[in-house]
Amino acid sequence: MLYALDFGTSNTVIARREPNGQIKTLSITPNLVFVVNAQTGSVIIGQEVAEDSQRLFRNFKRSIASGVVGFVPELDGVEVTGSQVGVWFLQKVLAGLEDISSLVITVPVNSFATYRQWLLDHVQDLPVSEIRILDESTAAALGYGLTTGDRTILVMDFGGGTVDFSVVQLSLQEVQSQSLIRSLIKWADRATTAKGQPTAKVLAKTGQNLGGMDVDYWLRNYLLNTYGLPAPAISKPLAEELKIRLSQEQVVNFTVADRVISLSRSEFESILAENQLFHRLDQCLADLEEQLHRQDRSFADLSAVLLVGGSAQIPAIPQWLARKFPDLELKTDKPIEAIAHGALTPQWQLEDFLYHSYGIRYWDRRNQCHNWHTIFAQGQTYPTAKPYELVLGASLPNQTHIELVIGEITSADTEIIYQGDQLVSQILTTPIVSAHVLNARPIAQLDPPGTVGVDRIKVSLSIDKQRTLRITVLDLLTKCTLLVNQPVIKLQ
């Protein structure tokens, strides 16, 4: 059977497609881990967690996805990282799944290959023949079950750690009846694509490291500063509880440090505005609009707006979207399960593109430093129609190997940093261009050794349908193929 894993920041959803084609949610687990014994990996997760102590971990996904390690506590003689907590959590939440033929894992739009690889590394022990990766907001577009007519829709996924936007064109003309839908479900797992299969084409996408945990942090800081309270008075769980209550009530009264405090929803919305939430969301829309403009498209092509994610339930968010798109249908009824359900929708053929660029590192003689040359730019569709080829030679006499450093390149105007004991998103005054190194090892052993000034190897690089960068290397002197379609990051 086909399963989906939506590993979120606040909650994780497991869903399954039943033999009759129906999609069933198996579990929605809060991302809470209480470490009973770090040496044995004994943990309690989700709803069962009650005690708030150094042994309780939350929001560990942001640490894993961002690569920011921060404070690492020692429990039972073991240093416990966010990555390790994430592994324990996944092991627990995936335990007991039966008859897994395929697993679809959803990831944030702006996630890096290193994070996707971390996920794949820690599910590879499952008895599964196929593992696929899908962007969360794209999955959400499929999860709302739109089955008539062609539509171009905007999806906003506002979760605990990230906010993602996608514009997806759904071409549904071939879905004429429920019998055809059932037929597509029946044959969806075949290697070939049925003629006339409906497609979901991603036209534009963008995202930021901005989520509900940032809202909790802003709310907590506001209360501490406004009322002069000591930091322990407003815990992270209390801030989250207040956020949820203010999303349901106009005024919330609560007691901390022997003081009765009243907080209104209007105050809460002012806190959001003062911390530039809506400004940052406006920036995301501007980025989408620019991507659409390059394709001679615009927001005028949209027919609906879909809203998913736990933080999307803050009333100010749908109100903001309604102001931006007053004439469009706004669907908000599947905030938690739409992503996992969409990942299991079988009749769709997905057409997507890279959110980050791939490049190779070279020595910049003019500036006397390493720099990056882009080989596949942001926006490149995959799988690639033809490989990117380059020819390399030895740079030293009698060189015995050639190394190629490949990186995933991005330009970001936010960064994740530690503020006290919490990972938060911070706006940068100047965007930072950075590269996450994916491959830094020799790609060719030269026998006989290379000669300076003589072309020696031809390198072919391509991206497969799973968004994996693959490499083929030919020795031009010996005519031997040294590597054949080898993944730079092995996904399976």
Q: What pLDDT band is residue 190 in, cutting at 50, 70 and 90?
A: very low
For residue 187, pLDDT over 50 is answered with no
Instruction: Report d(CA 13, CA 251) in Å as an integer.
Output: 31
Give me the sheet containing 42-45, strands edge to edge: 42-45, 32-37, 56-58
For residue 49, pLDDT over 80 is answered with no
For residue 188, pLDDT over 50 is answered with no
Q: What pLDDT, on the 0 to 100 scale, is given for residue 308?
A: 94
For residue 418, pLDDT over 60 is answered with yes
For residue 458, pLDDT over 90 is answered with yes
Q: What pLDDT band is residue 189 in, cutting at 50, 70 and 90?
A: very low
pLDDT tens digits, one per residue of 79-91: 999 999 999 999 9
For residue 88, give the DSSP letter. Answer: H
Domains 2-209+285-352 and 354-487 share a fold: no
Q: What pLDDT band is residue 305 in, cutting at 50, 70 and 90?
A: very high
Is the whole-model pTM more than 0.95?
no
Q: What pLDDT band is residue 171 in, cutting at 50, 70 and 90?
A: confident
2-209+285-352 placed in CATH 3.30.420.40: yes
Average pLDDT over residues 221-228: 94
Percentage, residues of the chain above pLDDT 70: 92
For residue 195, pLDDT over 80 is answered with no
- The residues pairing with 455 across neighbouring beta strands, listed in sequence order, are 393
Q: What pLDDT band is residue 193 in, cutting at 50, 70 and 90?
A: very low
Q: What pLDDT, on the 0 to 100 scale, is given for residue 492?
A: 41
Residue among 163, 165, 141, 137 nearest 152 (CA): 141
Determine how β-strand 78-79 pairs with β-strand 32-37.
Answer: unpaired
Burial 416-442 (b: 16+ CB within 10 A, else e): beeeeebbbbeeeeeeeeebeebbeee
Q: What pLDDT, on the 0 to 100 scale, is given for residue 439?
A: 82
Residue among 489, 371, 391 nearest 441 (CA): 489
Average confidence score pLDDT of the chain: 87
For residue 210, pLDDT over 60 is answered with yes
Q: What pLDDT, on the 0 to 100 scale, is given for residue 127?
A: 81
Structure tokens given for 414: 């936010």
Q: What pLDDT, on the 0 to 100 scale, is given for residue 148?
A: 60
Q: What pLDDT, on the 0 to 100 scale, is given for residue 174?
A: 45
Most confident of 45-49, 174-178, 361-365, 404-408: 404-408
CA angle 431, 433, 434 (to 5 degrees): 135
To which CATH superfamily is domain 354-487 assigned? Substrate Binding Domain Of DNAk; Chain A, domain 1 (2.60.34.10)
pLDDT tens digits, one per residue of 102-118: 999 999 988 888 899 89
User: Is 252 or 198 the better-scoring residue by pLDDT?
Assistant: 252
Instruction: Report d(CA 70, CA 83) in Å as an integer.
Output: 12
For residue 173, pLDDT over 90 is answered with no
Q: What pLDDT, on the 0 to 100 scale, is given for residue 143?
A: 87
Instruction: Report d(CA 187, CA 46) in Å as an integer.
Output: 36
User: Is 348 or 216 the better-scoring residue by pLDDT?
Assistant: 216
User: Is 185 or 342 the better-scoring residue by pLDDT?
Assistant: 342
Instruction: Report d(CA 148, CA 176) in Å as an integer.
Output: 8
User: Is 174 or 432 the better-scoring residue by pLDDT?
Assistant: 432
User: Is 190 or 315 the better-scoring residue by pLDDT?
Assistant: 315
- Secondary structure tally for the chain: helices H, strands E: 11, 27
Instruction: Report d(CA 100, CA 15) in Å as an integer.
Output: 12
Q: What pLDDT band is residue 324 in, cutting at 50, 70 and 90?
A: very high
Phi, psi of 177 (to 5 degrees): -155, 165
User: 420: left (phi > 0), else alpha (psi -120 to 50), else beta?
Assistant: left
- The answer to whether 349 and 200 have CB atoms below 8 angstroms apart is yes
Structure tokens given for 336: 């938690």
Question: Where do the domains of the chain lie?
Answer: 2-209+285-352, 354-487
